[in-house]
């Protein structure tokens, strides 16, 4: 582990268990902030399909509920888990609700923004479903905007899986 990779962090799962990110070492990660009452919430279905398709090749999708954008994730962790499971059949890892911007942000998100490649990528997250692609070595490869659908970024994920 080094200060240059994501394996220095841990987070609380949506079920209240501590998860050290080294558990995902050697996997390609798509890390994103999610919300249940957002115009982009329908991306859950495509994310789950992508997860089922590419998880055997080493993809992990890590969803972090966040209520910082328009109050679009008002529920508690158990309500969020139930919504994602019942409405979208989500099986990829979900984590406890976090903040992604500001002084109370989960430390993983400032790290992701700081390590993203473009100058624009280092700015605060603007909305729900902002996605970060992370290599098998824990290096931040790219930041995707909320409006970029899983289908639109699939080729880049596949390319990262093949490295």
Domains of the chain, start order: 6-161 (3.40.30.10)
Q: pTM of this prediction?
A: 0.95
| Cα–Cα distance measured from residue 128 to residue 145, given in angstroms and rounded to the nearest whole number | 9
| Cα–Cα distance measured from residue 37 to residue 74, given in angstroms and rounded to the nearest whole number | 8
| Cα–Cα distance measured from residue 84 to residue 134, given in angstroms and rounded to the nearest whole number | 23
Q: Which of 57, 107, 65 is nearest to 90 (CA)?
A: 65
**What pLDDT, on the 0 to 100 scale, is given for residue 143?**
93
Active site residues: 38
**What pLDDT, on the 0 to 100 scale, is given for residue 38?**
93
**What pLDDT, on the 0 to 100 scale, is given for residue 119?**
52
Query: How does pLDDT run along the chain (163 residues), one tens digit per residue?
Result: 556 789 999 999 999 999 999 999 999 999 999 999 999 999 999 999 999 999 999 999 999 999 999 999 999 999 999 999 999 999 999 999 999 999 999 999 999 998 876 656 568 899 999 999 999 999 999 999 999 999 999 999 999 999 9
Q: What are φ and ψ of residue 140, in 5° steps?
A: -70, 120
**Is 98:65 a contact under the CB 8 Å cutoff?**
yes
Q: Which residues contact 44 (CB under 8 A, 6 or more apart)?
A: 34, 84, 87, 88, 90
**What pLDDT, on the 0 to 100 scale, is given for residue 118?**
60
H or E segment to which residue 10 belongs: strand 10-12
């Amino acid at each position: 582990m080094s200060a240059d990779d994501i394996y220095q962090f841990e987070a609380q799962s949506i079920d209240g268990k501590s998860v050290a990110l080294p558990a995902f070492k050697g996997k390609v990660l798509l890390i994103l902030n999610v919300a249940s009452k957002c115009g982009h919430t329908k991306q859950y279905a495509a994310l789950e399909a992508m997860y089922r398709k590419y998880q055997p090749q080493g993809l992990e999708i890590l969803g972090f509920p966040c209520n910082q954008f328009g109050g679009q994730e008002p529920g508690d962790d158990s309500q969020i888990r139930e919504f994602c499971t019942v409405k979208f059949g989500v099986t990829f890892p979900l984590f406890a609700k976090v903040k992604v911007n500001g002084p109370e942000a989960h430390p993983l998100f400032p790290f992701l923004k700081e390590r993203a490649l473009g100058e624009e990528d280092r700015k605060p997250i603007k909305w729900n479903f902002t996605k970060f692609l992370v290599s098998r070595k824990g290096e931040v490869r790219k930041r995707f905007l909320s409006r970029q659908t899983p289908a639109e970024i699939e080729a880049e994920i596949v390319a990262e899986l093949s490295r």
